[in-house]
Structure 1
Amino acid sequence: MRAIVSACLLGAPVRYDGGSKLNAAVAELASKLEVIRVCPEGSSGLPVPRPPAEQRDGRVWLQDGTDVTLQFEHGADIAFEAARRSGAPLAVLKAKSPSCGVHLIYDGTYTGRVIKGEGVLARRLEKEGICVVTEKTVESCKPSVEHPVAIVLGSGLGHLGQLVKPVRRIDYHDIEGFPQSARPIAGHSFEATVGSIDDVPVIVYPGRIHLYQGYSAAEVTSLVRHAFRLGCRDIIFACATGAVPGNAHKGLGIITDQINLTGRNPLADWDELRDVDTPFVDMSTAYSPYLRTIARGVADDLGIAVEEGVLAGVLGPSFETPAEVAALGKLGVSYTGMSTVNEVIMARALGMNVLGLTLAANDAGAADTTHETVLAEAKKHGSDFESLVRGVLHLL
């Protein structure tokens, strides 16, 4: 996998003051990737050292009042062309910089205050469709013993838990908010494993409960809150789904967005959820673009066939009618399933980074689909699913 990375984050002394901003998390990620180093300011021909630069009124100014907009644009053009030629799907740029800032930039007063905006290079890369993040995102997604990766598995995918080198196990019935009466359906297990996969700290939940079993949205999302309390910042949801004909095929998929058609929302009971600050949660990027890009890069490198698309969460337990599938297709839905959407809402309410993976085990609306055929299809893709998850964990 290739990535564009700001040279200063890798230790190059190219900043205005002649220094760098070496970032350990970015350097570790870069060691596992094919990296294209960029520095728009250096490519522009501006001297080092020089006065600091910030954007103001759509232009770039040095602190001494010199307008360097043309130089920054020239440097950004050089860096952008290098990025375009590389075909890299990901860029990690220096936060707040007038050339590399992503969503936030210094406000032109040279006081350290920031405003909404994009750096000159960042804007070009985003327009090209490249996933652009700062070092803050890489740091946020980096696992550790204090911040293990949570992995919640769906029907037929629980065998991933066998890869865990265990430290301890937790019975779901010991988890706060999980219903004591719950018993696992076929393809699920109710014992979480805390440990590591390939030396990456993880907590694996090899099963879940569903709304269609009569449980509340708060109960269904109890595993997410448990993972959060154990320090997890990243959470991978895996689920079995049906592929909507014309929009997706059977096989592995990366979830890009969701439509909640269950009629439930765990935040409707938010007064009982002490970990949640507010029920009014921004869902504009429910599934982390950074984690999605990492997953796509891993799949491409390993030659694993993976599609991408929108998940519609339905109540179930009956499978969809042909008319329902036709309607979902017109809504732009690729996958339909009976889990995950409420869990993702809860994870975002807790500020967690979400990656959604699915196994489309049947064509939605097809005749003769049963829970047993879903489990059988999951078994066929088990090896690729494990390789994909292990690859993502390795890059994190």
Structure 2
Amino acid sequence: MRIALSACLAGWPVRYDGSSKLTRAVQELAAKTEAVCVCPETSADLPVPRPPAEQRGNRVWLKNGLDVTADFERGSQCALATVKEFGATLAVLKARSPSCGVHEIYDGTYSGKVISGEGVFARRLEEEGICVVTEKTVESVKPSVEHPVALVLGTGLGHLARLVKPVRRIDYRDIDGFPIDAQPVDGHKFEATIGTIDDVPVVVYPGRVHLYQGYSAAEVTALVQHAHHLGCRDIIFAGATGSVPGNAGTGLGIITDQINLTGTNPLAEWAGLKNVKTPFVDMNDAYSPYLRTLARGVADDLGITVEEGIFAGLLGPNFETPAEVNMLRAMNVSYAGVSTALEVIMARALGMNVLGLTLAANPAGARGTTHKSVLEAAKRYADDFERLVRGILRLL
């Protein structure tokens, strides 16, 4: 995988005051990938040191009053050409900079106040379809013993739990909010494992309950709440789905967005939910663009065929009718399933970073689809799924 970095984050003394902002998490990511360092400001031949610069409106000004908008634009175009030639799909930039700020920048008063906005260079990268994040994202998506990665696995995918070097096991019935009378469907197991996979701290949940079994939205998201309670900041959801013909094929997929068609929402019960401050949750980028880009990079590096698309969460348990498949196709849905959607809503309400992976075991609405055939499809893709997840964990 190829990434671009703000040179100051890699330790280059290119900031306005001649310093760098060396960041360990970014260093570690660069060591696991192929990286190119860029600085749009020095690419524009701006001197080091120089007065600090900030954006006001659509202009960039040095603190001494000099308008350097044209310099910043020229340097950004030069740095962009370097990134495109290198083939980077991800850029990690210095937060809040007038060149590299992502979603927030300093407001132009040189007071430290931050407003919504994009840096000149960040905007150019986004226009090219390159995923752009700051060092803060890389630092926040960093597994540790205190912040393990949670993996919630669905039908036929729970075998990943055998990779865990266990430290502790937890019966689901000991998890607060999980229905104590629940019985796992075939392909699920109700025992969480805390430990490591390839030395990465994880909590693996190799099964879940569903709305169609008669449980509430709060109950089917109890595992997410438990993962958050254990300190997990990053959560990977994986489950079997049907692929919508014309929008996606069978096989492994990365979920980019979702439509909740279950008719319910765990946040409708938010008053009784711990650590949920408000039910009014922003669902933009519900599936982390950063994690999605890493997953795509891992798949490409390993030669694993992976598609991407929108997921529709349905109530189930029956498979889709032809009319429903036509509706989903018209809605630009690629994958249809009976889990994940509510769990993602809960994860976002708790401020977690989400990655959604799916195994499209059959074309949605295909004749002859059974639970057994889904399990058989999962076995065929087990090796690629395992390699993909392990690659993602190592990259984190």
TM-score, length-scaled by structure 1: 0.99
C-alpha distance in structure 1 between counterparts of 2:132 and 2:27, whole Å: 16
Q: Could you report, residue by residue, the CA deviation over 1:85-131 in whole angstroms, capped at 9, with x for unpaired residues? A: 12211000000000000010111111111111111100000000000
Measured in 2, the distance between the counterparts of 1:152 and 1:283 equals 20
Q: Is residue 366 from structure 1 mapped to residue 366 from structure 2 by the alignment?
A: yes
Within a 5 Å distance, the mapping from 1:117-136 to structure 2 comes to 117-136=117-136
2:379 counterpart letter in structure 1: K
Report the Cα distance in structure 1 between the residues aligned to 2:142 and 2:164, rounded to whole angstroms: 18
Correspondence for 1:341: 341
Q: How does 1:236-385 map to 2 (within 5 A)?
A: 236-385=236-385
| CA shift for structure 1 position 17 | 0.4
What CA deviation, in whole Å up to 9, does each residue of 1:128-162 have, x standing for no partner? 00000000100110100000000000000000000
- Aligned residue for 2:97, secondary structure, equals coil
Show CA shifts across 1:221-263 (max 9, x none): 0000000000000000001000000001110000000000000
Paired position in structure 2 for 1:211: 211
Q: 2-side partners of 1:87 and 1:216: how far apart?
A: 46
Corresponding residue number in structure 1 for 2:77? 77
Which deviations, in whole Å up to 9, do the C-alpha atoms of 1:1-34 show, x marking residues without a partner? 0001000001100000000000010010011111
In 1: Cα distance, 2:231 partner to 2:88 partner: 32
Alignment of 1:145-156 (within 5 A): 145-156=145-156
Structure 1 equivalent of residue 6 of structure 2: 6
Structure 1 CA distance, aligned partners of 2:60 and 2:244? 48
Equivalent position SS for 1:123? helix
SS state at 2:312 partner: strand
Q: Letter of the 1:178 partner, please give it.
A: F
How high is the sequence identity, in percent, across the aligned residues?
73
| CA–CA separation in structure 2 for the residues paired with 1:42 and 1:216 | 56
SS at match of 1:235: strand
In 1, the alpha carbon distance for the partners of 2:58 and 2:309 equals: 36
The alpha-carbon deviation at position 323 of structure 1 amounts to 0.8
**Per-residue deviation, 1:279:** 0.4
The one-letter code of the counterpart of 2:182 is: A
Deviation digits for residues 244-290 of structure 1, max 9, x if unmatched?
A: 00001110000000000000100000111021000000011110000
- Provide structure 1 residue ranges, at least 5 long, that are not aligned to the other structure: none
Q: 1:172 and 1:179 mapped to 2: Cα distance?
A: 8
Structure 2 SS opposite 1:248: coil
Deviation (angstroms), 1:375: 0.2
Q: Which residue of 1 aligns with 2:387?
A: 387
Q: Which whole-Å CA distance do the structure 2 matches of 1:369 and 1:275 have between them?
A: 40
Q: Are 1:64 and 2:64 an aligned pair?
A: yes
State how far apart, in whole Å, the 2-side matches of 1:70 and 1:242 are.
Answer: 51
In structure 2, distance between residues paired with 1:116 and 1:282 = 15
Q: State the shift of 1:57 in Å.
A: 2.2
> 1:69 Cα deviation (Å)?
1.1
Q: Distance in 1 between matches of 2:47 and 2:271?
A: 56
Return 5+ residue gaps in structure 2 as ranges.
none
Corresponding residue number in structure 1 for 2:34: 34
Mapped to 2, the partners of 1:362 and 1:261 lie a distance apart of: 20
Report the secondary structure of 1:362's partner residue: strand
Correspondence 1:19-58 to 2 at 5 A: 19-58=19-58
* Partner Cα distance (2:262, 2:68) in 1: 53
1:284 is paired with a residue whose SS is coil
Tell me the distance in 1 between the aligned counterparts of 2:119 and 2:275.
35
Which stretches of structure 1, 4 residues or longer, exceed 2 Å deviation after superposition? none
5 Å-filtered alignment, 1:101-112, equals: 101-112=101-112
For 2:123 and 2:341, the matched residues in 1 are separated by: 31
CA shift digits 1:320-362 (9 cap, x unpaired): 0011101100000000000000000000000000000000001
Pairwise CA distance, 1:71: 1.1
> Residues of 1 paired with 2:129 and 2:217: CA distance?
35
Aligned residues: 396
Aligned counterparts of 2:86 and 2:381: Cα–Cα separation in 1 = 31
The SS at the match of 2:390 is helix
Q: Find the residue that maps to 1:64 and give its secondary structure.
A: coil
Letter matched to residue 71 of structure 2: Q
Aligned partners of 1:131 and 1:112: how far apart in 2?
A: 26
What are the within-5 Å matches in structure 2 for residues 130-145 of structure 1? 130-145=130-145
CA distance in structure 1 between the partners assigned to 2:327 and 2:321 by the alignment: 10
**Partners of 2:77 and 2:221 in 1: how far apart?**
46
1:220 aligns with 2:208: no
